[in-house]
Amino acid sequence: MKEKDLFDLIEKYKKGDISSAEKRILFQWYNEELFNKNVDSFEEDVALEHIINLDKQFGKRTKTPIIWLRYAAAVLAFLLCFWGLFALLEKPRQDILAEENDTPSPPTIKAYAFLSNGDSILLDGEVNKLKSINLNEQVIGKLSHNDSTRDLWITIKTPMSGKFQFILPDGSAVWLNTDSELSYPQSFGHSAREVKLIGEAYFEVAKQQENNRHIPFVVRSSQQDVKVLGTKFNITAYPNDRISTTTLIEGAVEVTARSKTETLLLRPNEQTVISSTGMEKNPVRSADITSWMQGYIVLRELDLPSIARIIERNYGVSFVDKNLPSDVKISGELQTDVNLEDLLHTLQINTGIKFKREGRRIIMER
């Protein structure tokens, strides 16, 4: 649910002019987002009292990114939960101009296209204004008459602090996360459509047929192969992460772990996790997994080293101390479109660890 729609529903609810359908939507958001309960267990009087108290206590919604700890004291965790979730619904305004060249900034729309003939193209655009583009239109102008389009591979690579959205030759849409790359042929074959991924990407695969036969779409990464016909899914396959995941949003996919040639079939809101110990399948909320496209990341008992890697990829920085304590588990929402100093300050409040930035280096102070 968009933040504006949510607060419109809350205002209607408080004024008493909300419809039964709108009320059920609000009830469902309240229970699922805050307490992971079924809508039938909703306590209407309690919810309204909480909403009114929030308005009285905080007035205007804050723009500070919030992370809260599951193991905090019960009362404190309760207050932080409500304050944090409502505060995070309003995204902070980004500073357009950096004060200095080495000042890390939130991710922008930027990527590079590398062609197998040695050419490269810079791809960038204004945040929230760039629509998915067909890269073939830009690539064709770079090719010489001697280039074989059938054998030509294109690699789209996002730098740290860069994201990009584009359309593949078959009409499939790709959202490429920070510090990631996707390689694909300029012209797909008739038997299969194959791409190679390093990092994280969200796919909306277009269905394609030939002679009444579906042409499968295959995503290959270091630990897994994902085979689909037409669907929406998210893959994480960063080289410096211990696990690779595939999360299904819509349709069906078949995930094969390369190490043990084990295969699992996914249904919507299911995720495979591949590690050195094998592959397992778990239920998830797919909206949590794809939240990175909206500028925040849902954390569920995530350790500090993993959070540090997320910050590094999104802000183009490096944590000097690689031995961050892994016993600190954090749950909540981590915004990636805010000022880095604000993010580090909030992390310090919730972990007790002080972080100091020197250019693009982050130093941990005990």
Q: Model confidence over 87-121: pLDDT tens digits?
A: 333 333 233 223 334 668 788 888 888 887 777 78
52 and 76 share one domain? yes
Q: Which domain holds residue 356?
A: 295-365
In terms of average pLDDT, the best of 82-86, 87-91, 212-216 is: 212-216
Work out the percent of the chain whose per-residue pLDDT is above 90: 33
Q: Are residues 235 and 310 in the same domain?
A: no
CA 347/CA 329 separation, integer angstroms: 12
- The pLDDT, as a whole number, for residue 39 is 42
pLDDT band at 46 (very low <50, low <70, confident <90, very high): low
**197 and 139 within one domain:** yes
pLDDT at 180 (0 to 100): 96
In this structure, are 74 and 116 located in the same domain? no
181 and 271 in a common domain: yes
Write the CATH number for 341.
Answer: 3.55.50.30
Does 154 reside within a domain? Answer: yes
Q: Is 203 found in the same domain as 303?
A: no
**Mean pLDDT value across the chain:** 75
pLDDT at 32 (0 to 100): 53
In a domain, 93, yes or no: no
| Whether 82 and 161 share a structural domain | no
- Last residue of one domain, picked from the residues 265, 289, 313: 289
For residues 283 and 354, state if they share a domain. Answer: no
Helix, strand, coil tally for the chain in percent (to 5)? 25, 35, 40
Over 90: is that where the pLDDT of 54 sits? no
Asked if residue 181 and residue 130 are part of one domain, the reply reads yes
CATH code where residue 206 lies: 2.60.120.1440
Q: What is the DSSP string of 106-162?
A: --EEEEEEEETTS-EEEEE--TTTPPPEETHHHHHTT--TT--TTT-EEEEE--TTE
The pLDDT of residue 192: 86
Task: Residue 292: count other Cβ atoms within 10 Å of its Cβ.
Answer: 24
Q: Which of 283, 286, 289 is nearest to 236 (CA)?
A: 289
Q: Does pTM top 0.75 for this prediction?
A: no
255 and 246 Cβ atoms separated by less than 8 Å: yes
